[in-house]
Amino acid sequence: MKTKTFIVGVREVHVQPVKVEAKDYEEAVRKIENGEGVCLEDRFSYSHTLDSEYWTDETED
């Protein structure tokens, strides 16, 4: 049987801290959702890999 080449998209979760000024946490979240704040690139970190049921399959013919 001939083998195929697969490209599998492994889904991972990362944490990107964002610094923003706000009155409370809820306002901070709203501001960040609206594009405000500064990403703290040096604190970007890996959290975990999702189960394989969430991965994608891009089979090449």
pLDDT at 40: 98
pLDDT of residue 5: 86
Name the pTM for this structure: 0.71
d(CA 9, CA 3): 19
- In the chain, at which residue ranges do the beta strands (DSSP E only) sit? 5-9, 12-15, 18-19, 38-39, 45-49, 56-60
| Residues 12-44: tens digit of each pLDDT | 999 999 999 999 999 999 999 999 999 999 999
Query: Exposed/middle/buried for 28, CB within 10 Å: 0-12, 13-18, 19+?
Result: middle
What single-letter DSSP state applies at residue 35? Answer: T
Integer Cα distance of 32 and 35 in angstroms: 5
Domain boundaries, the chain: 5-60
